[in-house]
Structure formats: C-alpha cells, structure tokens
Amino acid sequence: MNLNNRRKFFKKVIAGLVSFSIAPKIASEASTLEIKKRAEVPYFTNGFKIAEVDSNTTMLWTRLCSQAEPNPVRHERIDKVFRHPIDFDENQEVNKMDGAVGGAEGMVRALVKDERGGTVFTSDWEETLPANDYTAKIPIKDLKSGHAYQIILEAKKRGSNEVNIEKGSFSTAPGKNDKVPVVLTTSTCQYFWSFDEKTRGFHTYDSMAKLKPDFFVHTGDYIYYDKPGPLAKNFEKARHKWHAMNGWPSLRDFFKNVPIYMIKDDHDLLKDDAYRGKGPYGDLTFQDGVKLWYENVPIEDKPYRTVRWGKDLQFWMVEGREYRSPNDMEDGNEKSIWGKEQIDWFTKSVDESDATFKLLFTATPVVGPDRDGKKDNHANSNFKHEGAWLRRYLSAKKNMFVVNGDRHWQYVSKDLETGLMEFGSGPVSDFHVQGWDAEDVRPEHQYLNLIGGFLSIEVDRKLGKPKISFKHRDVYGKEMHEESFIG
C-alpha cells in the first residue's frame, strides 16, 4: 500500500470507529493505527519561505503538515470574483474544505550550505505546536553578503530519527558598494478562489520563477479573510486561508528559490479597509488579525523596514494598517496612515540613503488615480493632507518611485502636480480583476490594463550608467509595458 492509500485507509477506519460504537477489539486496533499514524514524518505541504533576507541574515518560515497534499478543489465557482463557490458549505468541518492542509506536531531545523557544499549554519530544532498552528520561524545569521546558499529543512517527529526534507536556495543581499544587477518581482491581491487552475494555483508564480528573481515583494492581500469559501470569522477558518494559499504547488515551488518580503493590507489582516477600532470580523479582533499575520510572516521587530541591495538599489516597505488613524476621522494634520514614528523613520532613512534608485513598496496607492468612492489610502480624499505631503516629499527625491498593491488592475501613473511615478502591479490572476473601467483613462495614466500578472523590476549597468526598468507582465510573464529611467 503506498503512503496515500495507507492514509486513506487509516482515515476510513478511524472515521468508521467514530460513527459506530467501539468494541474493545477494534479499539485496540485503532490505537495501533493511531500510533502508526502519529509515527508518520511531518510533511512540508505548506512549503517554506526564505524571508527578510539582508546582507547577513534571513528568517525562514515553515509549517509542518499531517498530509502530503492539500485537499483537492472540489467545488466549482461562478464566473465572477468574490462570489460564493457553488454549493460550498460554510459550516462544514474545516479539514474537509477545498485546499485544507492539516498541521503536525514535530521538530524542524535548517541546514545552510555554501556554494562548495560545506555546512555553514545549523539551526536548533524548533518545535511545532498547535498554539502557533504548527508553524516555525528559524533565524539564520552570520552569512556573507552577496553569496549564494542552499537550504535544507528537516522535519521529524519528536524522538524519531526519520526525517522529511525540503530544499531551497537563495542569495544574500550584496554590500552597499557592490555594483551588481538586480531582478525582482512584485504582485498583490490573491484570493484562493481566483486561481488560474485547480492543481497548481497561479500561473504568475510559475512565470515569475522563470525570471529567477533575486527576491519577490508581496504588497498585501495575500489571502482574503472576508471573502467566501469560507468567510474566515474565527481562528480556525482564518488559519485555513493561509494553509490553502500556501498549499498551492506554484507558490510552494516558487518560494523554494526566491526570497520573499511581505506587506500586510486589509484583507489579510482582518477585513475590507481595516483599521484599529473599526470593530471585529466575526470572532476575530484586530489584535487577533495581527497575531495571525505574524504567525505566518516571520518579521522580527517593526513591520516597516528597509533593505539595501548593492550600490544601485534601496527599498522601503511600509506598514499601512497597524498605525493608521480611523478612516472616518476628519482629515487634517493629525490624520495619518503611517503614524508619526514610522514617518520619522522613513524620512530619516530616505534622507540618509545614497542608493542610486529608491523604491517605496506600499500596500495602497499614493498617486492613484483611485475610485472616487474609496476612503482608505493616500490617493483618496479622506487622506488628502498626508497624501499631498507624501507626494511632495517623494517627488523631491532623485530616482524614487512608488510600487503599490491593493488595486485590481495594472497601471503606471504620473502625479499631475509633482511628477511622482507610481507602478501598480495589479492582482496575481486575471480572474481577480475588477474595480476599474478600461475606458476610464485619466490624464495621470501612462499605462492602464485590466489584467492580472506581475511587475518585474530590473536594475543594471549594462550601458555604463545605472538603469532601472519597470515591466508589467501578464500571468504568463509576457511583457505588456515598460518604463525605464537612467540614474
């Protein structure tokens, strides 16, 4: 019996035992089976992430799993995003849901090898427990800048020597004086039910992998708690959303070899246009959302941070949810999306930077244009004060650009007042496109396209001078639009 069939067999037997009264003989068989089941080695079904890479460190994230594959997609959807999957029972057991992946208690550690195959770092064994949804975070330290490394993750049951392994690779950020080319990709907004196809998930991830980017920035809405299939109104369903997303093979494969930085937005924190004080979503409070976020995103210290990547690139990732004023507060000098502490950190570090090109990654737009009715970001009327200040500040910096998520269409815009350029990556998949009319081309628009996909950004010195290129691509990686600038 292969592993899968054996698992199905165990499941059947155990399910049978639950539904009938348990005779002593069968009970003892069941406990033997349970022991065997428990002895199975944990799986890496939710993959792992190489996160927060800088020149000397990274943070690995993983979740140990009790099943080798996620539950298959069994339901059909109607041809419109965010609608209920047909006949999907919101109240069924979570472990029966499409995309579900059970967790497993166990131990996990990481080995890091250099290019010659020598082990340069061995982490402690970390225990995975139900309290953290069987996730683990493994800090890796003392690496060399601009070096390629291999990662081997090992998972086992406590007290066992039998391990499952998962392998990956990455390079650390080069030093601040190193003139090296950079390729990165970025995208936003992915909803489990917006998949391109039922087995691998999203084409965008497979297409990004072909470019072999140095890293990937996800600008928010990694999952959607407040969209059906299920609506995640409690911890169990909220965690399920992470499991289902991280279970797509296209993501699992991509993250093996491409480091990620994640920025949170409203839907992967709690609900639409979330801010502290807006009220809970079902049983989940804002603080619960924050806990769940950090359970899945291995950031140490502040959620806003900056990374230097060689001589020619520095990028900033800002936090737009944890510190914001209520959206319905009257606009004025006191009203903020970033909060004073973050603004001080941002302006100081940008002022001090001598990188050729500077990128601000933000979940939400700074330039827009956005829908007139929206009241959530710097391009909207209810954050006019901070928005105007920010556009003036950023446009006064040489070679500084905004890259944002949140909006479900691709665009490049140039602020009419300040000339600040903004690149909206658009959502991960075509199915997810909504919210803008293709005919509505405004004076700010340099490019507008109602498609999903991603944005790739390249920095190099092929022509002697540093150059940055922004390429919008469709889900297959085909270039749809390019803007380049010489530093």
Residue that has been written with the tokens 């909206």 in this structure: 424
Distance, CA of 163 to CA of 64 (rounded, Å): 12
User: CB of 422: closest distance to Fe ion in angstroms?
Assistant: 16
Angle in degrees, CA 328, 330, 333, rounded to 5: 125
Give the nearest residue (CB) to Fe ion. Answer: 189
Question: CB 189 → Fe ion: shortest distance, Å?
Answer: 4
Return the number of the residue (98 or 221) whose C-beta is nearest Fe ion: 221
- Cβ neighbors of 25 (< 8 A, separation 6 or more) are none
User: Which one of the spans 154-162, 215-223, 242-250, 439-447 is the region binding Fe ion (CB under 5 A)?
Assistant: 215-223
What single string gives the DSSP state of each residue in 40-91?
A: SPPB-TT-EEEES--SS-EEEEEE-BSSSSPPPP-----SSTTPPPTT--TT
**Least distance in Å: CB of 261 to Fe ion?**
18
Question: If you ran DSSP here, which 8-state letter would residue 192 be given?
Answer: G
* Beta carbons within 10 angstroms of residue 385's beta carbon: 15
Interface characters, 148-187, with Fe ion (x: CB under 5 A):
----------------------------------------
> Applying CB under 5 A, does 221 fall inside the site for Fe ion?
yes
Q: Which two tokens stand for residue 352?
A: 């001090």
Q: Cβ of residue 282: shortest distance to Fe ion, in angstroms?
A: 19
**Distance of closest approach, residue 408 Cβ to Fe ion, in angstroms:** 6
Interface of this chain with Fe ion, residues 83 to 142, rule: CB under 5 A: none
- Closest to Fe ion by CB, 134 vs 293, is 293
- On the question of a cis peptide bond just before residue 174, with omega within 30 degrees of 0, the verdict is no
Total residues in contact with Fe ion, by rule CB under 5 A: 2
Find the part of the chain contacting Fe ion (CB under 5 A) among 40-48, 214-222, 280-288, 295-303.
214-222
Would you put residue 455 in left (φ > 0), alpha (ψ -120 to 50) or beta?
A: beta
Least CB distance to Fe ion at residue 445 (A): 20
φ and ψ at residue 392, rounded to 5 degrees: -65, -45
Binding segment for Fe ion (CB under 5 A), chosen from 38-46, 154-162, 217-225, 387-395, is 217-225
Joined together, the tokens standing for residue 192 give 């489990």
The rounded distance, in Å, linking the Cα atoms of 303 and 317 is: 8
Determine the Cα–Cα distance for residues 239 and 232; give it in Å rounded to an integer: 8
At a CB cut-off of 8 Å and minimum separation 6, what does 225 contact? 231, 232, 233, 238, 241, 267, 268, 269, 270, 271, 281, 284, 289
Q: Which of 155, 189, 232, 337 binds Fe ion (CB under 5 A)?
A: 189
CB of 82 to Fe ion, least distance (A): 10
Rounded to whole angstroms, the Cα distance separating 480 from 447 reads 9
By beta-carbon proximity to Fe ion, the closer residue of 108 and 297 is 297
Residue with smaller CB distance to Fe ion, 48 or 205: 205
Please check whether residue 39 is in contact with residue 164, taking contact to mean a CB–CB distance below 8 angstroms: no
Does 81 sit near Fe ion (CB under 5 A)?
A: no
Distance of closest approach, residue 13 Cβ to Fe ion, in angstroms: 43
* Pick 203 or 218: Cβ nearer Fe ion: 218
> What string marks each residue from 389 to 428 as x (binds Fe ion by CB under 5 A) or -?
----------------------------------------
Cα first-last separation, the chain: 62
Residue 265 or 386 having the CB closest to Fe ion: 265
Q: How far is the CB of 131 from Fe ion (least distance, A)?
A: 30
Of 221 and 422, nearer to Fe ion (C-beta) is 221
Measured from the CB atom, the residue of 189 and 317 that comes closer to Fe ion is 189
- How many CB atoms are closer than 10 A to CB 127? 14
| Stretch near Fe ion under the rule CB under 5 A, chosen from 41-49, 220-228, 244-252, 384-392 | 220-228
Cβ proximity to Fe ion, 133 vs 221, nearer residue: 221
Nearer to Fe ion, 101 or 189 (CB): 189
Check if the beta carbon of residue 316 is closer than 8 Å to that of residue 362: no
Alpha-carbon distance of 136 to 310, in angstroms, equals: 30
433 near Fe ion (CB under 5 A): no
Residues in contact with Fe ion by the rule CB under 5 A: 189, 221
